[in-house]
Chains A and B, each alone.
Chain A
Amino acid sequence: MSTSITDVIDHLAGIDPGSHLDRVRSQRPEARSNAQASFEALFAPRRPGGFSAAERLAVAAFVTGLHQDAATAAFYAARLAEQAPELAAPIANEIEAGRTTGPYGAYPAAGPLAAESVAGPVYRAAGPDALGARLAAALEHAHLLVFRPRESSPEALQALADADWSATDVVTLSQLVAFLSFQVRAVVGLRLLAAAPRKGA
């Protein structure tokens, strides 16, 4: 990473050293340091395997763009533009094409939860040629995980296998999408908590 941000969640949530929320977070030191270690494991891994830095940032920009938290989305979009500028515009287009609200998805029609099924779009990459088959498959899987994780299936993993994803890289891809789903919520929640006035504070 090109900047000296020591804690991405603090940075994105606007938590300054010595602030009230800084003191709150300091009471869960392992959660705080390992949320940051998770970010580093995914974006500056010691063993990147077959999942390249550009692919990781492209998926991250897509996932955080879908979550629509401006600061978090801009953070990953800026890193993508720096490391893989040719992907910045295609990913911005995919974010536009993929935006919706979740969670949704079907439960088995014959099962007891059928009445709770919520219909919604199944995203397919809008411009797969600009992305390449591997990245297009990763974005389609990421969209599934972000919005309708209950519809996950072996067939969805097979689509990744068909696009040349290894089992280990699928684990890392899944961790990356799932981690960002955590990180953006920690940011949104802590920022809101910091801003909400306390009685007697």
Chain B
Amino acid sequence: MSVLDRSAAERPFAFTTDQLGWEPWLAPLIEEELTDLHREALVDKARAKSPYFRLLARDPEILQARTKTDNDIFYNADGGLPRAERELAAAATSRHNGCVFCASVHARFASHYSKRHDDVQRLLDEGVLAPQDERWRAIIDAAVALTATPAALTTEHIDALRAAGLDDLAISDLLHAAAFFNWANRLMLSLGEPTPPAA
């Protein structure tokens, strides 16, 4: 196998809500190589344009199961945690692990769905300990504690989430969103790198 060489000088190193690119370090499948099996694994047809998803398509079986897990955790709108706060958990997890690309995408979603641009920007600029209101404090703290290895989540985190008004489905959604970004961050960080926004 050959590892693709890229100039690290171009890599964005600050957290941002700008729309970044992402370049793989291993060769993705090319679009012409994609079979029905690969296209089914991509779930969303538009992802055939993405080098990230075409790289993951090298193992279509796990890609398909990964994507369906992701979609239900974030898009299932039947009760539970509002989308904005699922995205907040994803952004906080990504901020803590150091995934500039994932944080940019999910901070944008958190900002869009919550309309709380300043609070999201503060999370990116100052980090996971930056001041937030009680409910976002409880959500960010739980996501960060679960992101530690070994996980540092305690009953106190659960109590704080309940005190902030989350029911058990909402807490489960939060736990899944944070746990899932411990999956996503490790793929995005280790198989390629972010690139600056198109000028």
Contact = CB atoms under 8 A, between A and B. Distances in A.
Given A27-B79, A171-B191, A185-B179, A154 B3 contact: yes
Given A30-B76, A108-B13, A179-B66, A47 B155 contact: no
B68 A37 contact: yes
Interface string A20-44: 1100110111110011011011100
Contact of B149 (A29, A146, A165): A146
B46 interface: no
B151 A103 contact: no
Contacts of B64: 37, 41
Dominant secondary structure at the A interface: helix
Interface residues of B, number: 69
A97 interface: no
Given A67-B151, A101-B148, A192 B182 contact: no
B92 to A, nearest CB: 13
Q: What are the 10 A-B residue pairs with the smallest beta carbon separation, nearest first?
A: A150-B98, A189-B175, A30-B72, A185-B179, A111-B13, A31-B72, A182-B183, A178-B186, A152-B190, A37-B65
25 contacts: A24-B168, A31-B76, A38-B66, A41-B61, A69-B151, A103-B96, A113-B13, A149-B186, A149-B189, A154-B4, A167-B1, A167-B58, A171-B55, A172-B58, A174-B186, A178-B182, A184-B151, A186-B175, A186-B176, A188-B146, A189-B179, A190-B175, A192-B154, A192-B158, A193-B168
